[in-house]
Structure 1
Amino acid sequence: MGELKDRYIRFDWAIKRMLRDKANFAVLEGLLTVLFEDKTQIVEILESEGNQLAETDKFNRVDIKAKNSKGEIILVEVQNTREVYYLERILYGVAKTITEHISLGESYGNIKKVYSISIVYFDLGKGNDYLYHGQNRFIGVHADDELQITTKQEDALLPKYPREIFPEYYIIRVNEFNKVAKTPLEEWVNYLKTGEIEPETKAPGLSEAREKLKYYSMTPGERHAYDEHLNAIMIQNDVLSTAKMEGLAEGRAEGRAEGRAEGRAEGRAEGRAEGLEEGWAKGKAEGLLSTARKLKSMGMPPEDISLATGLTIEEIQEL
């Protein structure tokens, strides 16, 4: 088994081609169960414009109707490609899913809560963790309390928090995981990153993945396409790393150039300021000397001239 340890199909490939099959739902269910810490069962893969197989599709996500305690909708999106507006993309995907799965004229009460799970294989922002979770909460600006809304449910008025209705977001930053996998969640993230699955794993979904996602179970054509996919990702990462290094070097060079230019500009500005200050001081001194000469010629005592101009008696006597 050791020689096949690295030969499981990586999740980012499997979710687009294999995990949509009902026979393989157990793999995805395992990920959701571990992430939510709640037994989650997939009811169906929802039809959506996002459920397309082409590598170049604008949307690369799987819409899932899951059976948990509330029968809510879960979005799983896997992204290998760097996107500047990725957060906006997540927001758009959630909003689109909500509107796609409520019929025109239906009550807003039929809207299901949506969970968005983004599995990203590129550097998304700055942070020290590999898993981030966000949800909508309305907190009092002054009272620091959480807003609670009264809502009608099953012919009864019940209190409900906005976070129970609004979407929740999970972002798994795969490349940031650099530790020995000990918990089921860590085992899953390690698989997401490396495609490796330990033989003795007890993590939900991973034992099923070991059986259903074997590299050598694919046809030669499928293996070739998968290998090309991995090669493309490696090339992309190399290009991005090179671009990053070149960008840093270029940035340092531009910084030095800008620093020199700025230094020259500052020097000129300081020179002008110093020149003005020096000129003002020189003019003031010359004016005082001229005044002192006039006062001296008028017969004013040196002591009085010193008080009037600030010059020393010695300076006045030398005039």
Structure 2
Amino acid sequence: MKAKYINPYTDFGFKKLFGEEASKPLLIDFLNALLPEQNQIVELTFKNAEQQGITDLDRKAIYDIYCENDKGEKFIVELQKAKQNYFKDRTVYYSTFPIQEQAEKGDWNYKLNAVYCIGILDFKFNDYATEAEKTEVLHTIKLKNQHGKVFYDKLTYIYLEMPNFLKSRTLF
């Protein structure tokens, strides 16, 4: 019998391991390992990973994985092997689609469910201010005011840097 392996660090392998109905428990476990205890996921539904712009001329977004939990919170998961100069900008842009899709026609109170953008990166950002930041594996970003207090807790960016993460533990 010939053994078959899937490389989880390719788009195909990543989507095969985390983006299919049969692998949903693995994705839930992975996301729960990144999220605080109060935000643990019980159930997920996969959503269309291709988001169209408002018009045909608008830029669209194609996610590696896009899903929603039972509370209506949205999760975008991106595997990024090659360094991209504007990856932070890209994830901010990507987060606008699940925010916009929550808008209701007619009378609406503007209450939004949380949106999480998770980036699994095979590179390090080069704009860290301290040595401690450079060695951290997990970076969680929220909108904060000038005093460092969370201003808005429904938009979270989580960046997981694979090189350091894999040195610290076995993921697969």
TM-score between the two structures when normalised by the length of structure 2: 0.72
For residues 48-59 of structure 1, the aligned pairs below 5 Å read 48-50=49-51, 59=62
For residues 44-83 of structure 1, the aligned pairs below 5 Å read 44-50=45-51, 59-67=62-70, 70-83=71-84
Q: Secondary structure at the match of 1:177?
A: helix
Deviations 1:16-73 (A, max 9, x none): 245332221001001111111433133311124259xxxxx96343111013xx4411
Does residue 162 of structure 2 align to residue 164 of structure 1? no
Q: Which runs of 4+ in 1 moved over 6 A?
A: none
In structure 1, the gaps of 5 or more residues are 52-56, 147-160, 182-189, 192-196, 198-319
Q: Judging by fraction of residues, say which structure has more strand.
A: 2
Cα pair distance change 1:8/1:49, threshold 3 Å: closer
Q: Paired residue for 1:175, among 153, 160, 163?
A: 163
Q: CA deviation at 1:174?
A: 0.7
Structural RMSD (CA): 3.0
Q: CA deviation at 1:105?
A: 3.6
For residues 178-193 of structure 1, the aligned pairs below 5 Å read 179-181=167-169, 190-191=170-171
Give me the whole-angstrom Cα distance separating, in 2, the residues matched to 1:85 and 1:9: 26
- Count of matched residue positions in the alignment of Structure 1 and Structure 2: 154
Deviations 1:270-315 (A, max 9, x none): xxxxxxxxxxxxxxxxxxxxxxxxxxxxxxxxxxxxxxxxxxxxxx
Give me the whole-angstrom Cα distance separating, in 2, the residues matched to 1:103 and 1:48: 21
Give me the whole-angstrom Cα distance separating, in 2, the residues matched to 1:180 and 1:162: 32
Q: Which residue of 2 aligns with 1:157?
A: none
The residue type equivalent to 1:132 in the other structure is H
CA contact (8 A) 2:79 2:119 kept: yes
Does residue 84 of structure 2 align to residue 96 of structure 1? no
Q: Which has the larger radius of gyration?
A: 1
Q: Which residue of 2 aligns with 1:16?
A: 15
Q: Judging by fraction of residues, say which structure has more helix.
A: 1
How high is the sequence identity, in percent, across the aligned residues? 18
Give me the whole-angstrom Cα distance separating, in 2, the residues matched to 1:111 and 1:35: 22
